[in-house]
Structure 1
């Protein structure tokens, strides 16, 4: 074959996969898509992708690989049917995620071969791309919103493991979107009840710019208005492109309503850290009391150096658990046995602060060579990322839906029957919305008519001055209603006040039986995210 002819036909074949040159592909009878923030967002002018995200990215991605392994080895779930996957990196950027997601719809796009000819005049042979039946992801709400808009056009169901923006509950706009985490509208209800239980009636909200922050704050304000007896003094937003001076201005603005000392936060890690730093610069440590959303949760990194500013903060997190099976799986991953993860070598360098002798090594700041004998959890710190449970549950929700659909469409048939192979995403969505099973943590996994998971939250207080157990303490829970263990609440001394703030608990909470209270007030290190 002449070189021009060869190049023309190779180009035609390569055109089948223009959007996923760097992805994970696992063979299977059914292919699921996966979207994960393997890398952070790149700096302006430096491309879409930044540094690798060891926990939010790699842990979550490996959680899907782990779940697929478990399902494929389970003789009871999808027997004689194997699940494959195409996993992509969103680089924590909505526009990049949209480009990547085009990979999932290629098989559903009708091609006109008459536009392309080999030099011989013959039509090229197109290799049909794999058909993706459903997608697990994305992480950030802004990314899920962008991706959901294209997946719904091709009727591909999507289950997120971390996106909580209330906007995604709109079943008219996001009809193929579901999630195994509760929406922020539930979280807002819980936070309003917390604020009122503390005896506060005048607060301000502070939110990061974007779907998560803005909608979370709006949901809180709406819930406060509907519940009555709670006023929002100010609703401030943190600009996406900001400087430290912007945070100084925000603190100055918050001080203009001195009686609204309670600040309700819907902010990302960096914005939490920056606002705490600004409070310290303004010499206002002890003036504000914080109520943080699940983006704060029980994280330590945003508070580093500013622990005293965060003292007494009350935070919320969807109920979750550490999955021991994943710990065993992940800490046994090595460069030799995990070659299916195309980003694992980069993770290895970052995790062990060493450099591999491979082309394209990104570890420039060290001369230390990796031996390949390093072990996760022994030669580096390891702690399971908080959304691992939800990634696993999302994959299993897909598997249970496919299992039930295959059982109905292919009775007395081994493997996939023609009816199953031709079934569309609309039918699969129906089965997804009707799944009900115990998830990886033993809690029920199910969806309401909008595709939302039920609201179940743990409530913490950050007590760095607690001499016995400094750190986050579990002080209650919210499952449709608030339950606080007031014995675990720490009273806070306010700056410029001669009295100690007493948490005013309602009679219902004050009389809550100790028998039903949380047994331990301290959050162990294994539970920290």
Structure 2
């Protein structure tokens, strides 16, 4: 089964504390990117069910739950899973099995994943997330049942710090989602940035449920700042609200540095003032047959699914089986421009795909035996989720050219693409891969850029973001009181003293019998 947030922004519930609370319900528009994730899971399961090599003769089933990106809804789902499902009888087969859940794919966010793991972990139900990246989830003492196909933010934070250092930016602003994802990710980045000698002018947080005044305040901080580089560790849903606020009264040009959660989200490209943004994204992939599967939505399939019906009606602005603006059958999903149909940047979708296959391989190891190049699987064998959990720790396989395995923390090997928002000839903004980061390579080889970048406002020169310019020879640095170490004044060396290096912290007396001459910033000794 999969848990993802098909609707945004949240659930609604009315509490008056005098009567039983109403059931949790989701509101808002459907998230078509998350819909693609859930459909990718179905596609992977159907592939496996038709396979003669993986779980031959055994069919996998699934349930899809909508968490609305809400912790209360996710917790409600987790308790449902922990209690088990009603027995399911398959009329087409001579067997029946309990509906006990063997594993969970999800959640998309770190905070809901944490809540879910704490509950289902007590019942040894394995959880494989495709998009929960908080480094905190690598703690096996707290989350022993948690695995993920997406890398931990610990690696991304270190990569972002190396990136900032690479371009000589020592004075930056930092904004983040006020969530486990944003707070933990930014904390890791700031620690790595400090080790690289990078200073932070401001660090601000926000969350989608905060009042508009919070977003206005953060936007004003960005507008008034002197740092031209803004590093963001935020989900696309949170950052969208901040960028919408900034678009009302644009700030001076800012170079945006993004985390993978938003910098590869195509519907964020509408914020053209972020052109030139760079950041790390999950590697792109190709999943043969997926696009045809996504577009194969017959009227009967759409009508049979409330979620697909809602998607169809929203996409084409019509209603199925209703009197107002009735869908007339001319709607063509192949011409629809939507995150659901966009398979040009399959990144997280491939993480869903790999998560399903990882679970299938774990089940295969638990119920199948290899004998003389043939595979025999006992579909009558009753296995416990704990057995699947044990086998997941040992999973290693290749799928569509990608190796899938988990380390002792349940994490995969961290590999990223460096992406850049570049304007195309038509004027639209595109996500272009300009480099790579591979945490498995030796120090000095992890990070490489192999293509030219464009910067804020379409420029080709690397923007400058420093608190103070470098002090030339003949002067020394004097730290500004109450400011970070990156902020200083340049003081000329007094008569008879020397500094012969850039950014020297001190001046030194000229050696005896040396001569000296005037420089623009002071004196230099001559041998």
Q: So what's the TM-score if we normalise by structure 1? A: 0.75
Contact 2:177 2:239 in 1 (8 A): no
2:206 corresponds to which residue? 238
Counterparts of 1:348-359 in structure 2, within 5 Å, are 348-357=312-321
CA distance in 2, matches of 1:377, 1:340: 20
* Paired residue secondary structure (1:391): helix
CA distance in 1, matches of 2:103, 2:167: 43
- Classify 1:161/1:470 alpha carbon distance in 2 versus 1 (closer, same or farther; 3 Å): closer
1:376 corresponds to which residue? 333
CA distance in 1, matches of 2:84, 2:437: 44
1:66 corresponds to which residue? 43
2:430 corresponds to which residue? 471
Query: Please, which runs of 5 or more residues in structure 2 have no aligned partner?
Result: 15-23, 87-95, 440-445, 467-527
1:314 corresponds to which residue? 278
* Paired residue secondary structure (1:252): helix
2:311 corresponds to which residue? 347
Counterparts of 1:121-520 in structure 2, within 5 Å, are 130-225=99-194, 227-254=195-222, 257-258=225-226, 260-286=227-253, 288-304=254-270, 306-307=271-272, 309-337=273-301, 341-357=305-321, 367-372=324-329, 374-378=331-335, 381=338, 382-384=341-343, 386-407=347-368, 414-416=376-378, 420-421=381-382, 423-440=383-400, 442-464=401-423, 470-480=429-439, 481-485=446-450, 487-491=451-455, 501=463
- How far 1:289 moved relative to its partner? 1.4
Contact 1:176 1:429 in 2 (8 A): yes
Cα offsets for 1:51-80 (capped at 9, x unmatched): 342423321111111111100100110112
- How far 1:311 moved relative to its partner? 2.4
Cα offsets for 1:445-497 (capped at 9, x unmatched): 11111111211111112233877875332211111211112x512255799xx
Contact 2:276 2:457 in 1 (8 A): no
Contact 1:492 1:502 in 2 (8 A): no
- Classify 1:492/1:66 alpha carbon distance in 2 versus 1 (closer, same or farther; 3 Å): closer
Select the structure of larger CA radius of gyration.
2
Query: Please, which runs of 5 or more residues in structure 1 have no aligned partner?
Result: 1-32, 110-126, 359-365, 505-529
Relative to its length, the structure with more strand (as a share) is 2
- How far 1:354 moved relative to its partner? 1.0
* Paired residue secondary structure (1:253): helix
* Paired residue secondary structure (1:178): strand
Q: So what's the TM-score if we normalise by structure 2? A: 0.75
- Classify 1:373/1:493 alpha carbon distance in 2 versus 1 (closer, same or farther; 3 Å): closer
- How far 1:338 moved relative to its partner? 5.8
Aligned-residue Cα RMSD (Å) equals 3.2
Contact 2:84 2:99 in 1 (8 A): yes
Cα offsets for 1:378-437 (capped at 9, x unmatched): 36653136422111111100011111222359999953276x41x433332221121112
